[in-house]
Amino acid sequence: MKRILFAILCLVGVGAPAQKFDQLALTPPMGWNSWNKFASEVSERLIRETVDAMATNGMKSAGYQYINIDDSWQGERDSQGFIQPDAKRFPSGMKALADYVHSQGLKLGIYSDAGTKTCAGRPGSRGHEYQDAQTYARWGVDYLKYDWCDTEALSAEGAYLTMRNALFAAGRPMVFSICEWGNQNPWLWGAKIGHLWRTTGDIYPCFDCTQDHGTWKSSGILQILDLQQGLREYAGPGHWNDPDMLEVGNGMTVNEDRAHFSLWCMLAAPLIAGNDLRNMPKPILGILTNQDAIAVDQDALGIEGWRYSTDGVLETWFKPLTKDAWAMCVLNRSPRAQKIVFDWKTKTVADDLSKREAHFDTTTYTIRDVWTKKNLGTTRDPLNAEIPSHDVLMLWLDKM
Ligand code: GLA
């Protein structure tokens, strides 16, 4: 009898060892998050309007699917400890909001924190992990970003493992986004726990600066880019390095936004837009929905690009793609336009990680400019180009 009961329990999955939800985020997650533009000013109205924008402005068809509410949606816990949304901001409740998001063919993400309080001082999940995971599952949440404020001396791996197990026990597949800022090397333990992990502190919408907030600092695009050095080997399908959410449309120049987006695609980074989707100038929407750039990011191999060479203020990045294709991105870090000459026939690109090689002396590739969509001939002839300040030349190379 005992054996039969055990077999039944195994069949229905009760007692199955806890794990992360597999088969989620096989390519880097794409969506939107409220924090970079709205900080704590979140409401159900903002979320619904953002859903409407994403569903109709071309972003959904370009692959964006998660609508993520960041910090400050939380109200108090009830007498039994269940977290309630802030009733002023979310009067219809989270279940109704999730239903609306799903009715538009999108998915809902939410935010919590491993400590007692979130970074904005709202209730965190510490001591309530299983209860919160159950609540999110009941609401119909599809993605959890889990932050690291107010955690004192907690072990990050242990704290994130607890929440992973709680999510698994709650039974609703959710992408689990580890937001621990890279402090305890999440790339070393994150793959078995979550689907993505922040590699750095917070991003700031400047191309080349560090912003001092007194007790902490945030970093511009180039500063975050440089901090990704040495991490590409840890990422792959289902487990991604996260250099933080996008600042496209949040105040940098169009050139800088284009460079930022291109580089995040070269890094196979999660593409989580962070601007106001309801009021977007056309060039910004054009950047966020560039099909070739997104295809570079979402390539099924899931191999991060790397900095192939540096020549003063110019950097050349390569990323191996399926079907023997490559993406190449030349970044101009300087405040002045720069000319480049790239004589393909003298170059070989060899990737130790993926074991992919491109021998331009013996193999010819066609070249397409990802941003202008122009066909730039083949790798038989040297490439001559001028790259504006804080911009990129991004190319798609197909083997002939
Ligand atoms: C931290 C995170 C940010 C954001 C805020 C919210 O700073 O790194 O991405 O979630 O908290 O308070």
Q: What pLDDT, on the 0 to 100 scale, is given for residue 5?
A: 52
Q: Which atom of ligand 1 is nearest to the CA of 70?
A: 10
Terminal-residue alpha carbon distance, the chain? 65
18-297 and 306-399: identical CATH topology: no
> From the CA of 297, how far away is ligand 1's center (Å)?
24
Q: Of these residues, 113, 147, 257, 297, which one is catalytic? A: 147
Tell me whether residue 22 is one of the annotated catalytic residues: no
> From the CA of 320, how far away is ligand 1's center (Å)?
32
Q: Is the pLDDT of residue 162 over 70?
A: yes
Tokens representing 379 are 């790798």
Q: How far is CA 283 from CA 204, 243, 249, 338, 387, in A?
A: 20, 23, 9, 23, 18
Q: What pLDDT, on the 0 to 100 scale, is given for residue 14?
A: 53
Mean predicted confidence (pLDDT) in 264-281: 98
Tokens representing 315 are 């950097």
Tokens representing 9 are 């329990």
pLDDT in tens, 21-30: 999 999 999 9
User: What is residue 146's three-state secondary structure?
Assistant: strand
Residue 71, ligand 1, Cβ within 6 A: yes
H or E stretch at 162:
helix 156-170
Q: How far is CA 368 from CA 20, 99, 375, 399, in A?
A: 39, 41, 5, 12
Domain 18-297: which CATH number of 1.10.3720.10, 3.20.20.70, 3.40.50.1370, 3.40.50.1980 = 3.20.20.70
Q: What pLDDT, on the 0 to 100 scale, is given for residue 169?
A: 98
pLDDT in tens, 281-335: 999 999 999 999 999 999 999 999 999 999 999 999 999 999 999 999 999 999 9
Q: Is the pLDDT of residue 1 over 90?
A: no
Q: What pLDDT, on the 0 to 100 scale, is given for residue 17?
A: 85
Nearest CA among 20, 309, 385, 288 for reference residue 168: 20
Q: Whose CA is nearest to atom 4 of ligand 1?
A: 35
**What pLDDT band is residue 3 in, cutting at 50, 70 and 90?**
low
Torsion, CA 220, CA 223, CA 226, CA 227, rounded to 10 = -90
What topology is assigned to 306-399 in CATH? Immunoglobulin-like (2.60.40)
What proportions of the chain, in percent to the nearest 5, are helix, strand and coil?
Answer: 30, 25, 45
> From the CA of 81, how far away is ligand 1's center (Å)?
24
Mean predicted confidence (pLDDT) in 265-281: 98
Mean predicted confidence (pLDDT) in 348-354: 97
Residue 147, ligand 1, Cβ within 6 A: yes
Residue 169, ligand 1, Cβ within 6 A: no
Q: What pLDDT, on the 0 to 100 scale, is given for residue 163?
A: 98
R_g (Cα) of the chain, nearest Å:
22
Query: Looking up tokens 């305890």, which residue turns up?
Result: 184
Q: Is the pLDDT of residue 11 over 50?
A: no
> From the CA of 94, how far away is ligand 1's center (Å)?
21
Q: Whose CA is nearest to atom 1 of ligand 1?
A: 119
Q: Whose CA is nearest to atom 11 of ligand 1?
A: 119
All structural domains of the chain with their residue ranges:
18-297, 306-399
Average pLDDT, the chain: 96
Torsion, CA 216, CA 74, CA 189, CA 23, rounded to 10 = -140
% of the chain at pLDDT higher than 70: 96
Query: Looking up tokens 């975050």, which residue turns up?
Result: 224
Nearest CA among 242, 236, 238, 227 for reference residue 178: 242
Residue 42, ligand 1, Cβ within 6 A: no
Written as one letter, the residue type at 319 is K
Q: Which atom of ligand 1 is nearest to the CA of 201?
A: 8
Tell me whether residue 226 is one of the annotated catalytic residues: no
Q: What pLDDT, on the 0 to 100 scale, is given for residue 13?
A: 46
Q: What pLDDT, on the 0 to 100 scale, is given for residue 9?
A: 47
Q: Is the pLDDT of residue 123 over 80?
A: yes
Q: Which atom of ligand 1 is nearest to the CA of 198?
A: 8
CB atoms inside a 10 Å sphere around CB 83? 22
pLDDT in tens, 214-234: 999 999 999 999 999 999 999
Q: Of these residues, 202, 257, 276, 391, which one is catalytic? A: 202
Q: Whose CA is nearest to atom 5 of ligand 1?
A: 119
Residue 179, ligand 1, Cβ within 6 A: yes
**What pLDDT band is residue 6 in, cutting at 50, 70 and 90?**
very low
Q: Give, as one character, the DSSP assignment of residue 191.
A: G
Cα 108 to chain centroid, rounded: 15
Query: Looking up tokens 């009715």, which residue turns up?
Result: 103
